[in-house]
Amino acid sequence: MRKRKRKISFLIMSLAVFVVIGFLMLDSGLLTNLLRRGSVLGDEASIFGVDEAVLGKKPDQCEIHGSIEYLYYENTGFQKVKNNKVGLYIYAEKKSFFELAQKLVNSNGGDWGYVLVPYNVRDRDVDKWKEVFRMTNDKHLVPIIQLHEVNPDNYEKETNEAAQFLNQFMWPIRNRYISIYNEPNDSRFWGGKVDPKEYAVIMRYTIAAFKKENLDFFMINGALNTSASTNEVSTDAEIFMKKMNEKVPGIFNQLDGWASHSYPQPNFSGKPDGKGRLSIRAYESELDFLKKEMGVKKELPVFITETGWAHAEGESYNSSYLTAEFVGKYFKQAYEKVWMKDDRVWAVTPFTIWYEPPYDHFSWVNRDGVPYEHYEVVKSIKKVKGTPAKLETGNEVSLGCPPKS
């Protein structure tokens, strides 16, 4: 009986030590999402260096021993994190898009570039989204998930369920980027109406709901159409923002980042050295307005979630647009002379990998997946090897052997 009690006591002490070590690792930022995979018991080696010399016996001779596999996000500590800003707007439904994106954004020295992926807040397809996060992890792509299709009459339920759904997956890096819908100052993207007060309330609720689910969610606004005027179908972006702030004072201070649709106008054909709201630097005007007119104190990092030049080539030729050759030259200038030099810009995900006509003139590949010339030009640009706090798999831990009676 005494021998049995000693073995039980040792087991309890071993488990206690393991729990303490686990919490210490959690506190240092090493061990995360342990319960999301669950423990895996087996006969594997210890990550803490518990070996035969320490234990005095081989593991398979122990009366009790075990191991556990865990996931954690890399601790970048005080080192300067490098960021590969190059990205692309893609879709969850086609696996080939992830491969094309990887070859583009992680080329020529690059690693951990970005992809923007739209997500319908009522989508509960676990297999599809599990595959999305697996592919972004395997291909070293940082996902920005853009919400869409919320029902304003049922937004609380849909938002809570969407946050719970997206939180269940293993994201490839610690920051879980969420863009809160798309161009709400344009009625085409907000249920056929423009309602800045309604959007402000929903944005506030969405930020709170996702943060409640996981503090790693990094909340970004829905980018506005900066070229839209005030009429029966749209509202000027600055007027829209003022009305949002009137409804929810300080709403923009609740954001972690700023999404911008910095398109080169007019006719998606403007030059890359343009400035102002109708250029690839529209985000500068937005940041200035946020600081001077909306009272935003924090420095919001910029995510250009849509941008790009329309090209003449497509399923039908459109001579009002630039050729793909010119588009390539303009993108090269934009990246090398503007976006990469601006530390406020964290990511640029041009619209779009491929879309049905007439929007195929914004596509980076044709219907058969063959790249246009600007794809190859951006692929050749020298990029940064990104070093985000990425997901890692830890080894196992042995519980050791009980003392002899």
pLDDT in tens, 83-126: 999 999 999 999 999 999 999 999 999 999 999 999 999 999 99
pLDDT in tens, 323-350: 999 999 999 999 999 999 999 999 999 9
Q: pTM for this one?
A: 0.84
What pLDDT shows up at residue 235? 98
What pLDDT shows up at residue 321? 98
- DSSP at 257: B
Residue 137: which pLDDT band, with cuts at 50, 70 and 90? very high
Q: What average pLDDT does this structure show over 250-265?
A: 98
Q: What are the backbone angles phi and psi of residue 72, rounded to the nearest 5°?
A: -150, 160
Partner residues linked to 145 by β-bridges: 117, 178
Q: For residues 250 and 15, which has the higher predicted lDDT (pLDDT)?
A: 250
As a whole number of angstroms, the distance between CA 397 and CA 25 comes to 13
Is 142 a residue whose pLDDT tops 50? Answer: yes
Which among 278, 267, 190 has a CA at the least distance from the CA of 229?
A: 278
* 87-380 under CATH 3.20.20.80, yes or no: yes
Is 14 a residue whose pLDDT tops 90? Answer: no
Is 191 a residue whose pLDDT tops 60? Answer: yes
pLDDT above 70 covers what percent of the chain?
81
Delimit the CATH 3.20.20.80 region(s) of the chain: 87-380
What is the token pair recorded at 335? 């990246």
What pLDDT shows up at residue 345? 98
Is 37 a residue whose pLDDT tops 80? Answer: no
Q: What average pLDDT does this structure show over 365-376?
A: 98
Q: What average pLDDT does this structure show over 16-42?
A: 38
Q: How many other CB atoms sit within 10 Å of the CB of residue 259?
A: 29
Q: Which residues contact 145 (CB under 8 A, 6 or more apart)?
A: 117, 118, 119, 166, 176, 177, 178, 179
Q: Tell me whether the omega of the peptide bond preceding residue 358 falls within 30 degrees of 0, making it cis.
A: yes
pLDDT in tens, 118-128: 999 999 999 99
Residues 239, 242, 248, 251, Cα dihedral to 10° = 110
Give the CA radius of gyration of the chain.
25
Lowest mean pLDDT of 30-44, 143-157, 357-371, name the range.
30-44
What pLDDT shows up at residue 397? 58
What pLDDT shows up at residue 75? 86
Which among 380, 367, 365, 347 has a CA at the least distance from the CA of 311?
A: 365
What pLDDT shows up at residue 51? 37
Residue 135: which pLDDT band, with cuts at 50, 70 and 90? very high
Is 33 a residue whose pLDDT tops 50? Answer: no
- At 323 the three-state DSSP class reads coil
Mean pLDDT of the chain: 87
Is 364 a residue whose pLDDT tops 80? Answer: yes
Which among 123, 121, 199 has a CA at the least distance from the CA of 160?
A: 121
Is 49 a residue whose pLDDT tops 70? Answer: no
Q: How many other CB atoms sit within 10 Å of the CB of residue 52?
A: 10
The label of the residue with tokens 């959007």 reads 199
What pLDDT shows up at residue 57? 44
Lowest mean pLDDT of 67-76, 160-169, 300-309, name the range.
67-76
What pLDDT shows up at residue 10? 45
